[in-house]
Structure 1
Amino acid sequence: MASLLKNWLPAFTKNARDNSLLWRLLRDSIPEHKTKYFVAILAMIVVAGTTASTAWLMGEIVDAMTDTGNRARVYWVAGAVALTFMAKGIASFAQAVLMARAGNRIVAEKQTTLYNRLLKQGVGFFSTTESSDILMRVTNSAQRARMVIDTIVTSVVRDTLTLIGLICVMIYQQPVLSIVSLVVGPVALWGVQKILARVRDVMKQELKSLAEIIKVVQETSTGVRVIKTFALEGVMRDRMDQAVRSVERRNNKIVRLENATAPLMDTITGLAIASVVVLSSVNLFGGEPSSPGQLMSFVTAFLMAYEPAKRLMRMRVKIEHGMVGVRLMFELLDKPITLHEAENPVVLADGPGHVTFDNVGFSYTDGKSIIRDMTLDFPAGKTTALVGPSGGGKSTILNLILRLYDPQEGSIRIDDVDIREASFASLREKISYVGQDTFLFSSSVAENIRIARPDATDDEVVSAARIAHADEFIRDMPKGYQTKIGENGAFLSGGQRQRLAIARAVLKDAPILVLDEATSALDANSEALVKSALDQVTQGKTTIVVAHRLSTVIHADQICYLEDGRVVEQGTRDELLSKGEKFRDLYEMQLLE
């Protein structure tokens, strides 16, 4: 089967790259489901055989009906017809069910494979790739891949064998008329070639428009407050309308192109049948005239051959339609992984959580240096605050510690182990994170807290919530800890979301705690509660804090003032106020005023 398909590939696509992708798709998908496909192919062979038998039996039916005195022949023909249609029905059912089950499994596998590939990517990949494009590739491309496989398998087996069987019946019954009627094929193929060139370009534009629809819906969902506040309903409506109409226009073009073979085939077939009717009345080569049954069998086979021939003519159009999605799927699968785990990763042992930067240099994709030759020590069990103007590299330092990115120069070590040599799992266990933009899942309060440690008991979840000053508002909710909080905690206030994030960090109880502007977006009352919670959480932890509000970090064990990717001042508050300039200016501006 595999070698047969590989030999047929040039007939399906027009260039070597598409042939390679198509072979890769078949090689990756069919072997795992070979049993289902094998039985489905056997069923297709039965369908093809019974279809050809039906055309042949039509001649027997006509001859038997004109020879009513021969009852044995009538009974034989009637039984053969009944058995033929019964076998065809059972085989068609088996083929449809098995192909559907294999196809659905392939879609599920491809979507899982695509998602697992996404999980392996670093943050840099998601920073440069639009989520709407990712969604379209994961959801749409897998469906297109299944469509391509189904089209190829059914065309290679069912339609081809059916057509061959019917042509054999035609030639057996009427050799001369068969030669005349087979002129249809080359003319129809010429018409299909003209159609294929336009399908690829139309499909590329259609998928771009689908991605735009997804993008508009995402932006409407996440940015509804901004849309309402700035009265952007009309703008968003126009964007959606334009994208929807674009998809509609291209879908209409695709339908028109896919079905353009129908009038071509109908016209040519009609002319061929008319020619057959005329020629059937003329005995060109003399000899015995054809019986009514022979003519009926020939005409039936010819008419029945029309549908598989039409499907085969449209096959390349359908494959070209689906190959655009297959290309997009493999483009995503073949994207280089932006962050790799070491081949033989080290499991970080239990330790105090001492973090050090040793001559670290880092830049994002634009090549501009964000961190420059930085050597910095984060003492175990102490709190280090990172302050300074925006763009100084504070959040980048946190990203590097979390190993969301890798530095281009130098190394970052935790308890004297380079984090690039550490396993992802043990590194994540070492660090808790609370950010400014808290992300919550659309599940219950308890589930959102428990993701920090899935094996935690209910009592441990409640204890963590109490430390984070979240227990009181949780118990006031309709179902307490089992209350659903909506997409990204939509039913909660900013302070409540932040306290749930802190509760997660408490439950995880990691030796290193990373805080990125954890109180910057809160009101005074919420900030006071969150600060109180953080004071308890940070006890005995290696805490690294990014903050613009000095009031939240003024009592840190160490304060580092960053500017232009460098540490320009470092020390305690009193040391920096006595000998520093940058920090003292910031302190006087924020606190003394």
Structure 2
Amino acid sequence: MIKRAWTEWRSGYMGRLLTESFFAQGPLYAVAIVAMIAVAATTAGSAFMMEYIVDAMTSPEMREWAAVIALGVVLLFLTKALASYIQSIYLARAGNRIIAMQQDRVYRKLLRHGISFFAQNESSDLLMRTTQGAQAARNLINVVVTGFVRDALTLVGLVIVMVYQQPVLSIMFFAVGPVALLGVRHLLKSVRAIMQQEFKSLAEIIRVLQETSAGIKIIKVFSLEDRMITRMETAILKVEERSNDIARLQSIASPLMEFLAGLAVAGVLVVSTLGIAGTEQPTAGQLMSFITALLMAYEPAKRLSKMRVQIEAAMVGVGMLFGLLDQEDTMQESPEAHDLLNGPGEIGLRNVTFGYHGSIPVIENMNVTFEAGKTTALVGQSGGGKSTIFGLIMRFYDPDEGSVEIDGQNLQDASFSSLRKKISYVGQDTFLFSTSVMENLRCSSPDATDEEVIEAAKAAYAHDFICDFPNGYDTQVGENGTFLSGGQKQRIAIARAILRNAEILLLDEATSALDAESEALVKEALDRLTANITVIVIAHRLSTVLEADKIVVVQDGAIIEEGNLDELMQAEGQFRKLFDQQFRKSKPKSLAEISDQS
């Protein structure tokens, strides 16, 4: 029975937090706990010393001990001051380490997830769980440690002083505690629900800020300022209301304890002065020591009475934290994963069927080969599955059926690191980190020299405009490259991919943000640099893929045509229809005719 209860406690949030975080910071908490014991002992000692202080002031035979008593008081309070300082410092260090450790765990957990996880979870929710959850973990441990060590020991020490000085009068104090605990217990029912609502409102505030930052152009164009202000005001008001509710619940315990303390002190004075209940008339020092201990006992008693409320409030954030940590990784590396063997870089989809989140298949029973060292273009209407093919090749997702292979090796059996090394990617939605141009370029190849980075930038025709920046390659690009134009961002992304020098290059509308002249220059550079590597290109502008070694037409998750330009033009199929839609004025039948017209 005891073993089962221990197992259940350890598997709960409180048990896990204490075993994973508290014991991990054992040395720091050990020092803090020793300091707390000293604080508790000196607090009880200061109440006990009141007997000697008052007697030395009122009794002639005790006056000769006044200097010794005074020195003892100084040493007592000096010890308490030093212990309080040490307690605060080491509690803060341990708490800060717990926050750092939990946030690091959560971030590592997030990076282990696949793309689908981030598609299903809003960034504001993840941010709340990471920041507020880690803070709640720290607060919960601090409440437990300070409550069960400092406050509990302080209360016990003061009670001992009270019982020693006036055992009969102490009974009145003991009658007050259960009444206060019954009042606090009633509060706990509301705390958890209120805290859950407060976290949701905080997440909404973060969400509005993120959407404002990312969508400020749309907000301005469509005059959505008033709508966004209304959303923010609503979220802020809800947080304010929940915070007020929590403050009210946490504050009820203090007035309750104050009122009961007043009743107890009044009763003690009546009983002690009138000699009721057979009590002997105490000395002035004994009575002062007892009353001092009684009054001092109510502070730790109040904190202990509110501790349950604080624990319930913190448990909501801790539950959010562990809820995130406990989620199964949406993309896992096989336990027997091995590095991909070197090969020419042929990519194949074999009987692949895939649907996002188990829904209707986006790709169904697809078979296609992307030849090594050749350039293959994927064309077709939007929503046909072209970008999904890229996601499967980069193993952002695993197929529901079939396999994706590189040089005949199933990607589900390969290590993530070896797969990533083989692939470089440029997407239509260019992402840049909020750092310098140099660091954004070098992130694809951390060991690259400055000269190699500059050569890649030159190859992508980005070097000249980078040099025109005030700080050249050290220029900060802003959040997601906000200080750069769309074309500049895309050329930096292309240079980054070139610097990677991978065996496989995936280009998803990689030149869509470039003007015709820049596109021609970058295309020339890519043609030169992608010789003898496997390139797959997604493009809606057919003029950008006409020189591909093979063109694959994707429609409704299936390959409906494939071949070179001349073959597809002669076939009079879907590719020819797409071609005619984009080149309405003339209908050339071969690459030579297209070149002549251009």
> Normalising by the residue count of structure 2, what TM-score does the alignment of the two structures yield?
0.95
Contact 2:354-2:361 at 8 Å conserved across structures: yes
Match of 2:161 in 1: 169
The residue type paired with residue 183 of structure 1 is A
Match of 1:183 in 2: 175
Match of 1:13 in 2: none
Verify: 1:430 aligned to 2:422, yes or no: yes
Whole-angstrom distance in 1 between the partners of 2:262 and 2:278: 26
Quote how far apart the aligned CAs of 1:288 are. Answer: 4.0
Where 1:182 maps in the other structure, the secondary structure is helix
Match of 2:351 in 1: 359
Distance 1:556-1:337 versus aligned 2 partners, 3 A rule: same
State which of 187, 195, 206 in structure 1 corresponds to 2:187.
195
Where 2:340 maps in the other structure, the secondary structure is coil
The residue type paired with residue 204 of structure 2 is E
Quote how far apart the aligned CAs of 1:244 are. Answer: 0.8
Match of 1:370 in 2: 362
Whole-angstrom distance in 2 between the partners of 1:428 and 1:288: 85
Contact 2:437-2:477 at 8 Å conserved across structures: yes
Match of 1:413 in 2: 405
Quote how far apart the aligned CAs of 1:64 are. Answer: 1.3
Whole-angstrom distance in 1 between the partners of 2:36 and 2:261: 25
The residue type paired with residue 451 of structure 1 is C
The residue type paired with residue 407 of structure 1 is P
Contact 2:41-2:157 at 8 Å conserved across structures: yes
Whole-angstrom distance in 1 between the partners of 2:261 and 2:280: 27
* Percent of aligned pairs sharing the same letter: 54
Verify: 1:240 aligned to 2:232, yes or no: yes
Whole-angstrom distance in 2 between the partners of 1:534 and 1:221: 34
Verify: 1:155 aligned to 2:147, yes or no: yes
Contact 1:495-1:530 at 8 Å conserved across structures: no
Match of 2:460 in 1: 468
Verify: 1:133 aligned to 2:133, yes or no: no
State which of 267, 270, 274 in structure 2 corresponds to 1:282.
274
Whole-angstrom distance in 1 between the partners of 2:11 and 2:532: 61
Whole-angstrom distance in 2 between the partners of 1:19 and 1:45: 29
State which of 354, 373, 379 in structure 1 corresponds to 2:371.
379
Where 1:281 maps in the other structure, the secondary structure is helix
Where 1:561 maps in the other structure, the secondary structure is strand
Whole-angstrom distance in 2 between the partners of 1:287 and 1:502: 91
Distance 1:90-1:455 versus aligned 2 partners, 3 A rule: same
Please give the per-residue CA displacement for 1:147-176, whole angstroms capped at 9, x wherever unaligned: 000000011111001001101111111111
Where 2:60 maps in the other structure, the secondary structure is coil
Distance 1:367-1:449 versus aligned 2 partners, 3 A rule: same
Verify: 1:272 aligned to 2:264, yes or no: yes
Please give the per-residue CA displacement for 1:345-391, whole angstroms capped at 9, x wherever unaligned: 21123321111111111111151101111111000010111111111
Contact 1:362-1:372 at 8 Å conserved across structures: yes
State which of 489, 493, 499 in structure 2 corresponds to 1:497.
489
Please give the per-residue CA displacement for 1:264-293, whole angstroms capped at 9, x wherever unaligned: 111111111111111111223546421111
Verify: 1:251 aligned to 2:252, yes or no: no
State which of 212, 217, 232 in structure 2 corresponds to 1:220.
212
Distance 1:526-1:228 versus aligned 2 partners, 3 A rule: farther
Quote how far apart the aligned CAs of 1:520 are. Answer: 2.8
Match of 2:591 in 1: none
Please give the per-residue CA displacement for 1:237-268, whole angstroms capped at 9, x wherever unaligned: 11111111111111111111111111111111
Match of 2:590 in 1: none
Match of 2:115 in 1: 123
Where 1:337 maps in the other structure, the secondary structure is coil
Give aligned pairs, total. Answer: 582
Contact 1:467-1:536 at 8 Å conserved across structures: no
Where 2:276 maps in the other structure, the secondary structure is coil
Whole-angstrom distance in 2 between the partners of 1:114 and 1:516: 31
Contact 2:432-2:480 at 8 Å conserved across structures: yes
Whole-angstrom distance in 2 between the partners of 1:386 and 1:241: 47
The residue type paired with residue 346 of structure 1 is H
In the TM superposition, 1:566-585 aligns within 5 A as 566-585=558-577
Contact 2:345-2:534 at 8 Å conserved across structures: yes
The residue type paired with residue 321 of structure 1 is A
Verify: 1:204 aligned to 2:186, yes or no: no
Verify: 1:343 aligned to 2:335, yes or no: yes
After TM superposition, the structure 1 stretch with the greater mean CA deviation from structure 2, 561-570 or 61-70, is 61-70
Where 1:256 maps in the other structure, the secondary structure is helix
In the TM superposition, 1:411-560 aligns within 5 A as 411-560=403-552
Whole-angstrom distance in 2 between the partners of 1:102 and 1:472: 51
After TM superposition, the structure 1 stretch with the greater mean CA deviation from structure 2, 70-79 or 395-404, is 70-79
After TM superposition, the structure 1 stretch with the greater mean CA deviation from structure 2, 143-152 or 271-280, is 271-280
Match of 1:388 in 2: 380
The residue type paired with residue 259 of structure 1 is S
Match of 1:261 in 2: 253
Whole-angstrom distance in 2 between the partners of 1:354 and 1:78: 88
Whole-angstrom distance in 2 between the partners of 1:560 and 1:39: 68
Quote how far apart the aligned CAs of 1:415 are. Answer: 1.3
State which of 63, 76, 94 in structure 2 corresponds to 1:102.
94
The residue type paired with residue 327 of structure 1 is G
Whole-angstrom distance in 1 between the partners of 2:501 and 2:279: 98
Contact 2:385-2:556 at 8 Å conserved across structures: yes
Whole-angstrom distance in 2 between the partners of 1:217 and 1:536: 44
Quote how far apart the aligned CAs of 1:324 are. Answer: 0.6
Where 2:345 maps in the other structure, the secondary structure is coil
Quote how far apart the aligned CAs of 1:580 are. Answer: 4.0
After TM superposition, the structure 1 stretch with the greater mean CA deviation from structure 2, 427-436 or 26-35, is 26-35
After TM superposition, the structure 1 stretch with the greater mean CA deviation from structure 2, 346-355 or 118-127, is 346-355
After TM superposition, the structure 1 stretch with the greater mean CA deviation from structure 2, 284-293 or 198-207, is 284-293
Contact 1:55-1:301 at 8 Å conserved across structures: yes
In the TM superposition, 1:57-68 aligns within 5 A as 57-68=49-60
Distance 1:18-1:329 versus aligned 2 partners, 3 A rule: farther
Contact 1:441-1:488 at 8 Å conserved across structures: yes
Match of 1:402 in 2: 394
Match of 2:36 in 1: 44
Quote how far apart the aligned CAs of 1:523 are. Answer: 3.6
Q: Identify unmatched segments of 5+ residues in structure 1.
A: 10-15
Distance 1:527-1:284 versus aligned 2 partners, 3 A rule: same
Match of 2:293 in 1: 301
Where 1:301 maps in the other structure, the secondary structure is helix
Verify: 1:89 aligned to 2:81, yes or no: yes
Quote how far apart the aligned CAs of 1:110 are. Answer: 0.3
Contact 2:494-2:510 at 8 Å conserved across structures: no
